[in-house]
Amino acid sequence: MVDVPHVKVTLDNGLDVIVHEDHGCPIVAVNVWYHVGSKNERPGRTGFAHLFEHLMFEGSAHHDRGYFRPLQEAGGALNGSTNADRTNYWEVVPREALDRALWMESDRMGYLLAALTQAKLDTQRDVVLNERRQTYENRPYGLAGMAMMAAHFPAPHPYHWPTIGFPDDIRAASLDDVREFFAAYYHPANASLSIAGDVVAKEAIAAADEYFGDLPRGPAHDAVVAPQRQGRAAAKLRIDDQVELPRLYLSWPSPVLFGDGDAELDLVADVLAGGKSSRLYRALLHDRQMATDVAVHQGSRELSGLFSVVATAAPGHTLGEIETVVADEIARVSADGVTDEELRRAWRRLEADFAWRRQSVGGFGGISDQLNAYNVFAGTPGFFAADFDRYMRATPASLSGAATSALSPDTRIALSVVPRGDGAAALAGSTPLEMG
């Protein structure tokens, strides 16, 4: 019941095409992944993969009048996003607009550069700088995430820089950079197309072949390899920000996506902070009332994961108190694992989550996006059941093992984000960071 029926073919030019039929609603989702993200950037041009994503919406050779209009006219919704590992683009349209969506996606995959101009690049550079201000610089605690990644992954590790990039690098991007990037990464052999919804698989595959089949395959590129870790010691860091309450970010390097211990740490995160019966919610918010929120996350990616615990101090309480409670609880999970009841509830929530994720064919996280994610990261779109199985195979002992191996005090970075002028609110011994 966890599986999502689908058909996959690879076109002669290397483009993977995946189709899932669902006739419940007269809509169809088109989703394209390019296996390129900010980890493929070079120092001095950080933020480029994302800036490039913006240019993909500015028109292509045969339709140079903006990407949104013809698809919104068709009743479609559309968007795209970039992270360290991949860039995705999607449309959800009524079924009568499938051809138009495929035409538009294929035109920008094949013929973007002819429509590229300096003026478009200049405007989108300003848009992206404003996105950076709005999402990170002008937002409370907005710089914490990138500070954690930078601290855990020293240069030249490709996770060292944030996907949004550094402002000076964004400003430095040139038309030549755009052309090189397009030539290196935007072509069928580095892409995966999925189509889900009110379509007939055979017809959808034929349509995909019609629109994408004559695009040139494009060059292969080497996978990015993570540099050997340098046995980095634990650290305590501090950011002074325009915030009301101090917030603590504890984080550890953790298993890669689908790696040993990745699923276990997802379950550990759920036991620690999934819902109001979780251990840390009860300890920090209910029983001792020393925090106003707590969240735990195993964020796993292709080159490494990052396990994080984030909690904000309630007025009158300190980050030190919170740190003690969290450290104790993690030590307990490492030593004793979790109870059978905790694991059972985590499984139920997981089952509901898998069902939840099968509700929508399109958009971020919809079925079409998941088919591409599995295809690109696990090598097959039919990975739903295997993914689910990773969790069902977990035991209290394997959770304890994964926690013991990943969540060691020796690799932990503790970042305190404190109100400006109140440096003493940070954990004792924290080094201040300058966040430009």
Partner 1 sequence: MPVDRSALPPLGEPTSLTFPVIARETLPGGVQLRTVDHRQRALVSLVLLLRSGSAADPRGREGLAGLTAGLLDEGSGRYTALALHEALGDIGGHLGTDVFSDATVLSVTALARHAADALRVLMEVATAPRLDADDVDRVRALRISRIAQLRHSAGTVADRLFLRALYGQHPYGHAPIGTESALASIRPEDLRAFHATHYAPRTWTVVAAGGGNASELRSIVGDGIESLPPVASPSVGRLHHVSPPADPPLPPDRLVFVPREGAVQSELRIGSLGVARRVNDYEALSVMDTVLGGQFASRLNLNLRQAKGYTYGVRSSFDARRGRGPFVVRTAVAAAATADAIREVVREIGEIRGTRPVTDDELEVARSALTRGFSRSFETAGQVARAAMRLAVFDLPDDEYTTFVPRIARVTRDAVTMAAERHLDLNGLVAVVVGPPAVKASLVDLGFGEPVEPPDRLTA
What is the rounded distance in angstroms from the CA atom of residue 74 to the CA atom of residue 202? 23
Single out the residue of 5, 9, 10, 26 in contact with partner 1 (rule: CB under 8 A).
26
- From the list 41, 53, 58, 105, the catalytic residue is 53
Kindly tell me which of 208 and 306 has the beta carbon lying closer to partner 1. Answer: 208
The yes or no reply on residue 77 touching partner 1 (CB under 8 A) is yes
Bridge partners of 191, per DSSP, are 34
Residues of span 333-362 touching partner 1 by CB under 8 A = 341, 344-346, 348-349, 351-353, 355-356, 358-361
- The CB-of-291 to partner 1 minimum distance in angstroms stands at 9
Residue 416, CA distances (Å) to 281, 284, 423 in order: 20, 17, 9
Region of residue 231 (left: phi > 0; alpha: psi -120 to 50; beta: else): left
- Name residues whose C-beta falls within 8 Å of residue 126's C-beta, 6 or more positions apart in sequence: none
Binding marks (x or -) toward partner 1, 276..305, rule CB under 8 A? xx----x--xx--x--x-------------
**Taking CB under 8 A as the rule, does residue 396 contact partner 1?**
no
Query: Active site includes 53?
Result: yes
The interface with partner 1 within residues 208-247 (CB under 8 A) comprises 210-211, 214, 242-245
Dist CA 262 CA 283 (whole Å): 25
Q: In terms of CB distance, is 12 or 180 closer to partner 1?
A: 12
For the segment 86-145, give every residue that binds partner 1 (CB under 8 A): 92-97, 99-100, 103-104, 106-107, 111, 122-131, 133-135, 137-140
d(CA 416, CA 239): 6
Answer yes or no whether residue 175 interacts with partner 1 by CB under 8 A: no
CB 271 within 8 A of CB 248: no
Q: Does 202 bind partner 1 (CB under 8 A)?
A: no
Which residue stretches of 221-339 are H helix?
262-273, 279-280, 319-336
Length of the chain measured in residues: 436
Q: Pick the closer one to partner 1 by CB: 84 or 98.
A: 98
Least Å distance, CB 400 to partner 1, is 20
Q: Kindly state whether residue 74 participates in binding partner 1, applying the rule CB under 8 A.
A: yes
| 275 scored as a contact of partner 1 (CB under 8 A) | yes
Q: Which two tokens stand for residue 340?
A: 């059978």
For partner 1, which stretch binds (CB under 8 A), given 149-157, 186-194, 275-283, 380-388? 275-283
The answer to whether 305 and 254 have CB atoms below 8 angstroms apart is: yes
Separation between Cα atoms, residue 272 and residue 255, nearest integer Å: 18
What residues are labeled active site?
53
